[in-house]
Chains A and B, each alone.
Chain A
Amino acid sequence: MPPAMRDKITIHSRAVVPQDAELKGDITIGAGTIVHPKATIFAAAGPIVIGSGCILEEAVILVNRRKEVMRIGDDNLFEVGCRVESPSIGNMNTISARARVHHTVRISSYCFIGAGCLLVPTEDEILEEYTVVYGPSAERRNWSGRGKLQEADLRRKHADYLKEMLPKFNRLRRGDGT
């Protein structure tokens, strides 16, 4: 691993990032994104840019092992204990609890990685929109997309609730740019 990058952390004023979250390297966190305490964002080799409305739950680990920017879109949900190293992630994806996504996988949008699924292909690949990975052997399906508006609505309520509750019990961290 190359020498660790200097910390440069930019947090949007409407993002919620507790001091207990571990941030290392060059990181940008967008509006309305919620990071739980004990989540780890590690920009090891290149910067990480997280869009708006994402939720990173406890013990989530995001790692960028590549030189180029790891770009994460909007409204993605990273559930408890998942570990994601994808160089790019679109919008409205769900990475379920304890799933692991290797740096060879790029995720487009509306994808769903099931609980505990291991996604570690040896060659680079892109998950098409609406891909569902599920089950112990990480089988794949395509989601019809039915119900996605309700899901987006639920995601938004989830984020709104956390935005209200997390600051009551955690000291928030501010970006160092301000």
Chain B
Amino acid sequence: MSASIEYYCPCLAASPHPPPPHLASSSYSFHPLHNLYFCEECDAVRCNRCVLVEVSGYFCPNCLFEVPSASVRAEKNRCARNCFNCPICRNTLSVVASDPEGNEGRMSPIVSNTLGEPPFFLFCNNCRWDSAEIGITFEKPTGLAAQLQKFEDSAPDALEFEHLKEHFEPYLRASSSALPTTTAHSHHHVNPITAAASSALARDVPGVGKYNPLTRSRVGRDKNAGKQEIPDYNSRVEIGTLGALGAGGGDSDVEFMRRLEDMAEVAALEQRWVNSWTASLRSSDLKPLRIPLQVKKSKRCPACRHILIKPEQKSQSTRYKIKLVAANYLPAIHVSLPHAIAAMELMKRSPSLNKSLSSVVDDPSVTGLMPGKTYAFHLAFTNPLYDPIQVRLKKVQPKPMVNTDEDHDKPRRVPFQVSLPTAAIGIAAFAEAWEYEDDEEDMFGLEEDDLDMDAHGGTGKDGRGKTRTVGVIERRANTTVISGEVILTKEARGNVRFNMLVSYTYRSDDPEPPEENEDGTPSRSHAAPKAPEMKNFSFYTVVDLGPVVRREESRSEYDA
């Protein structure tokens, strides 16, 4: 559970080699396999930090209505149908009818289908807030957003903003026609929604001056920027009187707080900051909020701009038109520590210790690594391809560090030695489960060279004459498990993390001379890895075997 592996995306680095894993900053370059994409065009791994993200459509997460991008701005990025969030707990509100008047006493004896009657109001099933509490009711149960829009639009701050826009409108129009708007970046192959959004962001705001760190100091003197005279703006309401109007702020808030009797009268921060404007402090002023829209995103390769991810347009669909994820190209690797698993099994079996199992799992002294000891670790490779692959592993030797602090102690020693199998490891093709039944023998015969006793490393540290357990230990279906070994020095501390280069050869799908008769199952016809058009792909990973536990100081170091 503490052991893990992550894959490297070289986008942040100038060199194709990964940063040394003991640097904290290296974690930004490594990602779990399921977060990575693969560009077939560039033959490269891509991550969420380097792909280009585009909006492919807006929708309401509640009613799943696909909002045309043209109306997103007019509707202020929120659902304009019947979707609202509870102002108290942010659950989705439902529209309900009022109880029939009159028989207030015991519940009505008639069980009828149409018990409710207008007016309608919004009701929260989670905290039982209802909009009638703040005086919002509706004659019809439809088109509520439009009915609520008038509350939104008549709020003093919304009016003030409109007023401001009106004030600057003529000036903005005049100067934008004067200044040719620089289309900052040339977007090829970009869909219109993204183009509109990014050009709106990149547009120069006249009078503000382009943000440029080099010229920033001169902006004050730049007469060009603010040349045109803008008449003084007169606000609609005086700031001081705003509080008296109930919009909060200033003295009225102080007065309100002074008379406070119950904490619940004050709107919590979470309840207030979802508002577009500064909201009143009083929880009685909280209004239902239209639900914010969400987007479906598509992703492109940063180098060649080919699409890697393209969701289906329909908001109900969770499928993708294009989905080039790395998990379909690179072998999945799972790391485990057999000694930790064995310890856990033992715990589970002995019932006397069972009660403290959860605490044992967290206890690093049971499942962790001790300095000065040697441990085996398992790497299970799972092949996602329809053809068998050959994998080679190489531990990346940490480069002798250029120590800035002048090696004051002894020359820095590597705190651990890792041994990995050096021979190529065959991994069978991915296939539907039924296909394995009778092919198993001829496909997965253990090859002699797999058990590779003379492991890489050769430090000869363990003169105990123990047979090393480095090599292939299990094959089943399209998964091959290999064992490696780590020797910790007495001084080892921190996490045992090392970079590993994984190279694999696979049969290329490129169109080939027709001499081969391609069947539906090419994997079977080429059991031998000597097919003519083999390709090679390499990627770096970081293997984390978990922390080294030092008996004396373990606790404090762990909690830190």
Contacts and interface: CB of A to CB of B under 8 A. Distances in A.
Interface of A: 112, 114, 132, 134-135, 139-141, 143-144, 146-150, 152-153, 156-157, 160
A112 B108 contact: no
Contacts of B99: 146-150
B89 A146 contact: no
Interface stretch (B119-127, B223-231, B272-280, B301-309): B119-127
A53 to B, nearest CB: 10
Interface stretch (B73-81, B129-137, B461-469): B129-137
B70 interface: no
A141 B115 contact: no
A111 B298 CA distance: 47
A144 B127 CA distance: 11
Contacts of A148: 99, 107
A114 B89 CA distance: 12
A141 B107 contact: no
Contact of A135 (B89, B96, B103, B111): B89
A142 B129 CA distance: 8
18 contacts: A112-B128, A132-B128, A134-B127, A141-B88, A141-B128, A144-B128, A144-B132, A144-B133, A146-B123, A147-B96, A147-B98, A147-B123, A147-B130, A149-B103, A149-B108, A149-B115, A150-B96, A153-B111
Contacts of A143: 128
Contacts of A132: 127-128
Given A132-B128, A141-B129, 17 more contacts: A134-B128, A135-B127, A139-B127, A146-B98, A146-B123, A147-B98, A147-B123, A149-B100, A149-B108, A150-B97, A150-B99, A152-B107, A152-B108, A153-B107, A153-B108, A153-B112, A156-B107
A135 B126 contact: yes
Contacts of A157: 111
Contacts of A150: 96-97, 99, 115-116
B13 interface: no
Contacts of B108: 149, 152-153
Nearest to B126: A134
A134 B126 CA distance: 6
B264 interface: yes
Nearest to A149: B99
Contacts of A140: 264
A141 B264 contact: yes
B380 to A, nearest CB: 37
B107 A149 contact: yes
Contacts of B111: 153, 156-157, 160
Contacts of B128: 112, 132, 134, 141, 143-144
Nearest to A131: B128
Given A141-B88, A153-B111, A156-B111, A114 B98 contact: no
A160 B111 CA distance: 11
Contacts of B98: 146-147
B127 A141 contact: yes
A114 B127 contact: yes
Interface size class on chain B is 20 to 34
A112 B124 CA distance: 12
Say whether chain B's binding surface is mostly helix, strand, loop, or mixed.
loop
A153 B115 contact: yes
A159 to B, nearest CB: 11
A145 to B, nearest CB: 9
A150 B96 CA distance: 10
B294 to A, nearest CB: 23
Interface in B64-116: 88-89, 96-100, 103, 107-108, 111-112, 115-116
B126 A114 contact: yes
Of A134, A140, A156, most buried by chain B (CB within 10 Å of CB) is A134
A140 B129 CA distance: 11
A112 B128 CA distance: 9
A149 B100 CA distance: 8
Nearest to A156: B111
Contacts of A112: 128
B89 A134 contact: yes
Contacts of A156: 107, 111
Of B99, B123, B128, B129, most buried by chain A (CB within 10 Å of CB) is B128
Of A114, A157, A160, most buried by chain B (CB within 10 Å of CB) is A114
A94 B527 CA distance: 65
Contacts of B132: 144, 146
A146 B123 CA distance: 9
A153 B100 CA distance: 12
A146 B121 contact: yes
Nearest to B116: A150
Contacts of B115: 149-150, 153
Nearest to B100: A149
Interface string B122-162: 01001111101100000000000000000000000000000
Interface string B255-268: 00000000010000
A2 B170 CA distance: 85
Nearest to A96: B126
A134 B129 CA distance: 11
Nearest to B112: A153
A148 B264 CA distance: 23
Nearest to A154: B115
A91 B284 CA distance: 29
A139 B270 CA distance: 14
Sort A-B residue pairs by CB-CB distance and give the 8 closest, nearest first: A152-B107, A149-B99, A143-B128, A134-B127, A132-B128, A150-B115, A153-B115, A134-B126
Nearest to B88: A141
Contacts of B123: 146-147
A139 B108 CA distance: 31
A149 B121 CA distance: 15
Nearest to B102: A149
B143 to A, nearest CB: 21
Contacts of A135: 89, 126-127
A163 to B, nearest CB: 13
A141 B128 CA distance: 8
A144 B88 CA distance: 14
Of A146, A157, A160, most buried by chain B (CB within 10 Å of CB) is A146
Nearest to A142: B128
B217 to A, nearest CB: 50
Nearest to B103: A149
Nearest to A160: B111
B120 to A, nearest CB: 11
A164 to B, nearest CB: 14
Contacts of A141: 88, 127-129, 264
A114 B125 CA distance: 9
